[in-house]
A and B are shown apart, each in its own frame.
With several copies, the nearest count.
Chain A
Amino acid sequence: MQPDLLHAIQANLLSPAVLFFVLGVIASLSKSDLKFPEALYVTLTIYLLTAIGFKGGVALSQAGFEAVWRPGLAAIVLGTLIPLWSYPVLRFVGKLSVADSAAIAAHYGSVSAVTFIAATNFLKQVNEPFESYATAFLAVMESPAILVGIMLGKRGGKREGSLWGGGTRRALHEAAFGRSVLLLVGALIIGALSGKRGMDMTEGFFVTPFQGVLALFLLEMGMVASRRLEDLKRVGLFLLCFGIAAPLVHGFIGVALGHWAGLSLGGATLLGVLAASASYIAAPAAMRLSLPEASPTLYLTSALAITFPFNITVGIPIYYALARWWNS
């Protein structure tokens, strides 16, 4: 298995997407004047989410709902549980504050769509088939952990004032209608409703350029992630280890659960990737509003500057190797 793993890591590192990520890191470290306009960032996000959602929905319409509910439930449970066991580790081993522990736990229970997409890319590259409807797991795993995290963090604090009540109601609204959930779930349903016919019509947009667009987006993500690198020393050694150990542990659990829920080798890998990934858009925004006393430096740096690059480069091949080992 070792040579296999090395081979998979090498294949991943030499894929255009990961190489563009590295280029982004270099651009940022070398203080190049390269900069993506905000509108481009938003556009790429919208595109990637609708495309992956739509494809997932078409796959869903073909696989049928029976095939999906069991692993889907497993995904939700996983997303809910991860913050529950991460919190005590962060609070008592890492000695972080209530708010910080809760916020970081939420990030690691939630998911990163880009990591997921990079993993589908990787599976395509190594010719490993997977359940395309796995996007549905991505969609249902974003919010639960965020809600759990908010509840964990709010136990201590109290808010008063008319503007700050209803924090939970707001969080629930965000969980259902926040940009990324809305696009993912919406496109998923659209794909399911319009089926193969719809796919034939829009393939030239949602499928043909998809992998190249991801490469471009990872160029930007390389710049965004490495801007956080200077905060690395501020997060401390514990969080640095957590940012690598947590995805490995969660990835292992995710792969096992995926296997148990009847997913294919590729599908189990994807569930592992989802469990291992940490949110760096939806979760930070929610924490900033619901737990303002938690430090963005801590949660953003660990999710974005440690876990995200780790997963993109070597994590994904590792979870794949785990899935293969489990299957054999």
Chain B
Amino acid sequence: MKTHPMKLVTIICEALAREHLLALFAEVGVHGYTLFPVEGAGSQGRRPGDIAEFGNIQVEVVAAPALATVLMERLQAEFFPRFALIVYESDVRVLRPSKF
């Protein structure tokens, strides 16, 4: 079984940023993502998640390293000033690299 190294970019942010996030994905060429409704707490207080508009989402993107870097740079430049969000990256190995 052959696996292929990729980056997993994880974004946790207020649910309101959703449309902008998806627009960014389209712009930089991210074609797949997975989205979780989550509760959370951070520097901007607790987000209990009973009102979707005030809630949190976690979005995960598997992407080739170069694309992951582009995505994270855009997030840093354009989303950090506007939204409550945190972003991190980790290493994964995928089956079927053609899908990414």
Complex interface: chain A residues within 8 A of B48 (CB): 35, 227
Judge if A41 is at the interface, Cβ distance under 8 Å. Answer: yes
Interface stretch of the complex, out of A14-22, A126-134, A157-165: A157-165
Judge if B70 is at the interface, Cβ distance under 8 Å. Answer: no
Shortest distance from the beta carbon of A142 to any chain B beta carbon, whole Å: 14
Complex interface: chain A residues within 8 A of B81 (CB): 292
Assuming the contacts A38-B52, A284-B53, A292-B82, asked whether A163 and B24 have C-beta atoms less than 8 A apart, the reply is: yes
Assuming the contacts A292-B82, A292-B83, asked whether A162 and B53 have C-beta atoms less than 8 A apart, the reply is: no
Asked if A164 and B50 make an inter-chain contact with CB atoms under 8 angstroms apart, the answer reads no
Judge if B37 is at the interface, Cβ distance under 8 Å. Answer: yes
Interface 1/0 per residue, B49-61 and A, CB below 8 Å: 1111111000000
Asked if A36 and B27 make an inter-chain contact with CB atoms under 8 angstroms apart, the answer reads no
Shortest distance from the beta carbon of B40 to any chain A beta carbon, whole Å: 14
Interface 1/0 per residue, B33-70 and A, CB below 8 Å: 00001000000000011111111000000000000000
Complex interface: chain A residues within 8 A of B96 (CB): none
Assuming the contacts A163-B23, A288-B16, asked whether A224 and B83 have C-beta atoms less than 8 A apart, the reply is: no
Asked if B53 and A164 make an inter-chain contact with CB atoms under 8 angstroms apart, the answer reads no
Asked if A289 and B16 make an inter-chain contact with CB atoms under 8 angstroms apart, the answer reads yes
Q: Which of B20, B51, B78, B82 contacts A38 (CB 8 A)?
A: B51
Closest to B54 in A: A284
Asked if B16 and A224 make an inter-chain contact with CB atoms under 8 angstroms apart, the answer reads no
Asked if B78 and A161 make an inter-chain contact with CB atoms under 8 angstroms apart, the answer reads yes
Asked if B52 and A164 make an inter-chain contact with CB atoms under 8 angstroms apart, the answer reads no
Interface 1/0 per residue, A181-221 and B, CB below 8 Å: 00000000000000000000000000000000000000010
Shortest distance from the beta carbon of A273 to any chain B beta carbon, whole Å: 22
Complex interface: chain A residues within 8 A of B23 (CB): 163
Complex interface: chain B residues within 8 A of A1 (CB): none
Complex interface: chain B residues within 8 A of A220 (CB): 50
Shortest distance from the beta carbon of A290 to any chain B beta carbon, whole Å: 11
Complex interface: chain B residues within 8 A of A161 (CB): 78
Judge if A67 is at the interface, Cβ distance under 8 Å. Answer: no
Complex interface: chain B residues within 8 A of A42 (CB): 52
Assuming the contacts A288-B16, A292-B81, A292-B83, asked whether A224 and B51 have C-beta atoms less than 8 A apart, the reply is: yes
Extra A-B contacts (12), CB below 8 Å, given A36-B50, A163-B27, A163-B78 = A35-B50, A37-B50, A38-B50, A41-B52, A162-B27, A163-B20, A163-B24, A220-B50, A224-B50, A285-B16, A285-B53, A292-B81
Q: A: which residues have CB within 8 A of B?
A: 35-38, 41-42, 161-164, 220, 224, 227, 281, 284-285, 288-289, 292
> Could you write out 22 A-B pairs with CB less than 8 Å apart?
A36-B50, A38-B49, A38-B50, A38-B51, A38-B52, A38-B55, A162-B27, A163-B23, A163-B78, A220-B50, A224-B51, A227-B48, A281-B51, A281-B53, A284-B54, A285-B16, A285-B53, A288-B14, A288-B16, A289-B16, A289-B20, A292-B81
The 10 closest A-B pairs by CB, nearest first: A292-B82, A288-B16, A285-B53, A38-B50, A41-B50, A36-B50, A163-B23, A161-B78, A163-B20, A38-B52
